Structure 1
């Protein structure tokens, strides 16, 4: 409760209008609400800040005040020192906690391993080790099917788990709130410029600087699923690269008919710079990813 009350005091000290917004939300403390239900009482930017700070939490199809009593305590505590609640150290600590919660130790470890494996594209020993390990699983499939079909299967598989990872590790509701917040700031800035209100422009510029932290948080949120996608995709790419460069793909299976291109060898370059096997992989991956997302109703972009 103390932590929630501290967050409330901090928000009110940053934006005095937040007091009225929180008071209005407390009238709905026993029900789940969406922003459109209360947009006349608070802005989308304020709504986004309350979700970011954890004061509003998900409840079914909407949100509700997580700890109403703590919110009341934060609003009614007039004796709390403003210096203490808005000091740089307190603010930095809160921001650090919020940001730190978005990436776990496992996320960071996955990122380190993925980056280390990327060296396999240039460093042959890593490519040989990773390729040999992955070949234990994919070798039997390669032995039964032409290599361009194997690439198609791998593209389908990677497209499937990419969609699943994005859907589970990205908070599209919060990203949508960030985007609405920035759009609202831009709209207010444009209106202030048109009426020549320099004082309002100065306040909006300060708000933009504060919102940069939210933008950093959104970037970290978007990049988090990428490390897991790379952790699973890089070994697949290294295996395909290893098979092609070690002459593991020869004869008739080394060439196929690519749509709009015709008969082509897997190692031939399209447009003079991109190997045919990579182009074929991306074409299959993009196509099957769309089918998977539509078929399973997976959301991969903010609403």
Structure 2
């Protein structure tokens, strides 16, 4: 099967990769209770991607050091606000000197935070490309009105319509696959992070 409609899908040497993904993911779509509108399949894929990204964060980022640096940064910000409120220029200079000392540590933390993204970026792009060309692209999920508004869907609906098209605007309180994927991924990531012992959310 030749793939069209995406930059990645048009790369010929990736054809075996997408064939393998078809072999694994197409049966998943067929097992969906509603294969013509595979909402559950997107939920499962979201769980897999969330597990992949959170596991990468757990293994590749020093969480203790990250939390320590965040605590120090918050403490310094508090000290700086207090110094500014009191007008104590000497204290402000001391706090700013501490911030300068922390810059190297913050740079290291930033590098660590990029590691999971580098590792997971390619698999996620491949899965996105596969979903884009599959029946998943035509998914319509209808929310109860309260959920529709609480998830800020109206704000992102117009943007999503431009990105992935479809006939979502004709369905009251309906959303497409991309926004459904983001909602599922956000929720599952929070649960997995909690299960893995992360102290902070996203």
Considering the TM-score relative to the shorter chain, is it more than 0.5? yes
* RMSD of equivalent CA atoms: 3.3
2:144 equivalent among 257, 260, 281:
260
The structure whose residues are more often strand, as a share, is 1
Q: Which runs of 5+ in 1 are unaligned?
A: 1-119, 262-268
Higher RCO by CA contacts (8 Å cutoff, separation 6 or greater)? 2
Matches within 5 A, 1:189-268: 189-193=80-84, 196-244=87-135, 254-260=138-144
Distance 1:143 1:135 in 2: 11
Q: Which runs of 5+ in 2 are unaligned?
A: 146-153, 165-175
8 A Cα contact 2:141 2:180, kept in partner: no
The alignment's TM-score, normalised by the length of structure 1, stands at 0.46
Is residue 161 from structure 1 mapped to residue 31 from structure 2 by the alignment? no
Shift of 1:196: 4.8
Specify whether residues 184 and 288 from structure 1 end up closer, same or farther in structure 2 by C-alpha distance, changes over 3 A only: closer
Q: How many residues align?
A: 168
The structure whose residues are more often helix, as a share, is 2
8 A Cα contact 2:9 2:129, kept in partner: no
Structure with greater Cα Rg: 1
Specify whether residues 153 and 188 from structure 1 end up closer, same or farther in structure 2 by C-alpha distance, changes over 3 A only: closer
The alignment's TM-score, normalised by the length of structure 2, stands at 0.65
Specify whether residues 186 and 125 from structure 1 end up closer, same or farther in structure 2 by C-alpha distance, changes over 3 A only: same
Shift of 1:241: 0.7
SS of the residue 2:158 aligns to: coil
Specify whether residues 181 and 136 from structure 1 end up closer, same or farther in structure 2 by C-alpha distance, changes over 3 A only: same
Specify whether residues 300 and 241 from structure 1 end up closer, same or farther in structure 2 by C-alpha distance, changes over 3 A only: farther
Deviation sequence 1:48-72 (CA, Å, 0-9, x none) = xxxxxxxxxxxxxxxxxxxxxxxxx
